[in-house]
Amino acid sequence: MKTIARFSPALLFLTIIYMSCTEAPSKKTDLTKAVTKQDFGQADGKPVYLYTLVNKKGDQVKISTYGAVVTAWISADKTGAKNNVVLGFDSLAGYLAKPPYFGAIVGRYGNRIANGKFKIGDSSYTLATNNGKNHLHGGLKGFDKQVWDATEVDSVPALTLNYISRDGEEGYPGNLKVTVVYTLSDDNELGIEYSAETDKPTVVNLTNHSYFNLTGDVKNNILQHTLRVDADAYTPVDSTLIPTGVLQPVKGTPFDFTIPTAIGARIAQVPGGYDHNFVLNNKDGSLKLVAELADSISGRKLEVYTTQPGLQFYTGNFLNGSIKTSDGKPINKNAALCLETQHFPDSPNQPAFPSTLLKPGEKYHSITKYKLSVQ
C-alpha cells in the first residue's frame, strides 16, 4: 500500500548526511524497563547493537541493528516453558556467515526479480543476480547485510530502525530512506511498520524474513504444524521460482490452505516444497488476519495480520544441516518456515500484479503483525 505525502529531495540529502554519523560504542545499558541495549560486535567498521524488547508478561523479542534482524522471540508454551520460536544466533558471527536471511528485513526488493532486470518508463535497470539468473532479496548486499541506525522508544517495548539506501545501490535508482518500527505488545503481538520515501522513481518491496518453528526446537520439523491462509489463489512459478503471471485458484490443489491443514499433508505433491506467493483476499489494503499457524506439541498459535496483498509461504526447502544453532543443533530441511508478507515476486515485470513503483512525493507504507498465543 502506498500513501501520498509531500517529500523534499533536499530534506532527504540532509537526512543522509545526518544518518551517516556513526553511533559510538557502548557497554550494556538499561534504557527503560521495556528496552535494553548491548554491544553485539562490529560490521563494516561500524558498531552493531542488540536490543531486547520485553513486555509485561516477560516475553522477549531481540533485534540486531545488523540487518534489522529479529534474532529471537522468546515466549511460553502450554506448559509455561519459554523458548525461542524463530531461527537466530546468540552472536553476530552467525549472521556475518550469511545464513539465508534469518529474521532479517529484506530489500530494497524482497523476493525475486526475473533476470535481475526491470524498466521504469524508458529507463532500464540491471541488478545483481544472486539467485541463479535472478535477483533475490535486494542482491549481494541487501538490507539484511547493512548496519541500521536505531532509536529506542521510551517506556514501551518498541524500536525504530533507519537506513538510507543510496542511489545505485545494488543497481536500484534513487536515494531511498527506509524506516522500520518494531513493537511488542503485552498481548504478544510483534508489530512491524514499514515506511520509505525516494527522490527518484524506484521499486520497493519490504518484508521480514523470520523463520518460525512454534515447538521452539529445530529437532522437530514444521510438517505437523497446521496452516490456514486466507487466499483463494496463488502465483504459480517456473523452474527458477519466477511467477508465470497467472493467478491460479487454490481449490483442488496442494495450495489450498483455506481451512487449517497440516503442512506435510500434501508437500510431496509440490516439487521442491512450498516456496510460493499466495494472493491474499484483503483487496482493500486494510490490516486483516490473513494466516494462522498452529502447533500441537507446544500449544502455540501464530496469527498473521497485514496490509499487504501477498504472503510468501516457504518451508525451509534449502536448509540442509550445514548451518547450526548457537547450541550446535543442525538446521535441517523443513526445520522452520517463513510467512513473508509482501507484494508479489517479479512485480516490476508483471503489469497485471499490484504495482511496487514508488515515486518522489509518495510514501511507501505497510503494517504487519505477528501474534503469538497458547491454545
Instruction: Say if residue 203's pLDDT is above 50.
Output: yes
Mean pLDDT throughout 161-182? 98
**Separation CA 138–CA 172 (nearest Å):** 9
Pick the CATH number of 2-374 from 3.30.750.24, 3.40.50.1360, 2.60.40.10, 2.70.98.10: 2.70.98.10
Averaged pLDDT, 203-221: 98
Confidence band of 375 (pLDDT split at 50, 70, 90): confident
DSSP 235: E
The C-alpha atoms of residue 280 and residue 212 are separated, in whole angstroms, by 20
HSE of 251 in the Cβ direction (CA atoms, 13 Å)?
2
pLDDT surpasses 70 at 259: yes
Residue with cell 494462522: 292
Q: What angle do CA 199, 203, 205 make, to 5 degrees?
A: 120
As annotated, the active-site residues are 209, 340
pLDDT average, residue stretch 92-114: 97
In this predicted structure, the answer to whether residue 96 has a pLDDT above a threshold of 60 is yes
Q: Nearest-CA neighbor of 372 among 72, 38, 11, 8?
A: 72
User: What distances in angstroms separate CA 86 from CA 58, 91, 245, 315, 322, one per listed residue?
Assistant: 17, 15, 32, 13, 18
Secondary structure letter of residue 273 according to DSSP:
-
Q: For strand 275-280 and strand 231-235, is the pairing parallel, antiparallel, or unpaired?
A: antiparallel
pLDDT at residue number 22:
39
Round to whole Å and give the CA distance between 142 and 250.
32
pLDDT of residue 217 exceeding 80, the answer is: yes
For residue 317 the three cell numbers come to 526447502
Closest by Cα among 173, 180, 174 to 195: 180
Helix (H) or strand (E) holding 109: none
Q: Is 359 helix (H, G, I), strand (E, B) or coil?
A: coil
Question: What pLDDT is recorded for position 32?
Answer: 52
Residues 188 and 372: beta-carbon distance below 8 Å: yes
Q: What is the DSSP letter of 24?
A: P
Residue 120 has pLDDT above 70, yes or no: yes
Looking at per-residue confidence, does 8 or 92 come out higher?
92
Q: Which three cell numbers stand for residue 201?
A: 522513481
Rg of the chain in Å (alpha carbons): 20
Give yes or no for residue 16 having a pLDDT over 80. Answer: no
Percent residues over pLDDT 70 in the chain: 91
The pLDDT mean for the chain works out to: 92
- Asked if the model's pLDDT at residue 65 lies above 90, the reply is yes
Pairing of strands 29-30, 123-126: unpaired
Residue 155 has a pLDDT of: 78
Residue type, position 166, single letter:
R
Residue with cell 515515486: 359
Beta strands at 158-165 and 300-306: parallel, antiparallel or unpaired: unpaired
How many Å separate Cα 39 from the centre of its chain? 23
CB neighbours of residue 262 within 10 Å: 15
In 272-344, alpha helices (H): none
For residue 33, name the pLDDT band (cuts at 50, 70, 90).
confident
CA dist 197 → 15, 175, 276, 298 (Å): 12, 8, 28, 41
Query: Rounded distance, CA 302 to CA 304, Å?
Result: 7
Strand partners, 160: 151, 181
